[in-house]
Amino acid sequence: MANEHLTLLDIMEKHVPHAEFAFLSACHTAVGDKETPDDVIGTLWEVDDSVAKHVVKAFYENLVVMDCTKAAWALNRATHAVKTKVPLEQRMVFLHIGV
């Protein structure tokens, strides 16, 4: 990734058996279309790395077990858990796409 962009399409085209979920915390990663797979968390616009790490950490603490059906719930809990550390404009960039 240091020399070229990694796209959502690149990830989708990889053969990763049993993959059910992706958390993409880089900027503009939730810009999807009808081909976007279910259960992806990404960002709608630029996100600051120093504060995004708080959301990512809280997300995985709330996911408890790797159950992708709980991704939306875990993201919601994570954004509430970090509201004293992460400003609203940085929390609201995270988006869950999927069921």
Residue 81 is predicted with a pLDDT of 92
Cα(82)–Cα(68) distance, rounded to whole angstroms? 21
Amino acid at 17: P
- Quote the pTM value: 0.58
Residue 73 is predicted with a pLDDT of 86
Residue 53 is predicted with a pLDDT of 86
Helix (H, G, I), strand (E, B) or coil at 9: helix
Helix (H, G, I), strand (E, B) or coil at 53: helix
| Domain layout of the chain by residue ranges | 44-99
Q: What is the DSSP letter of 83?
A: T
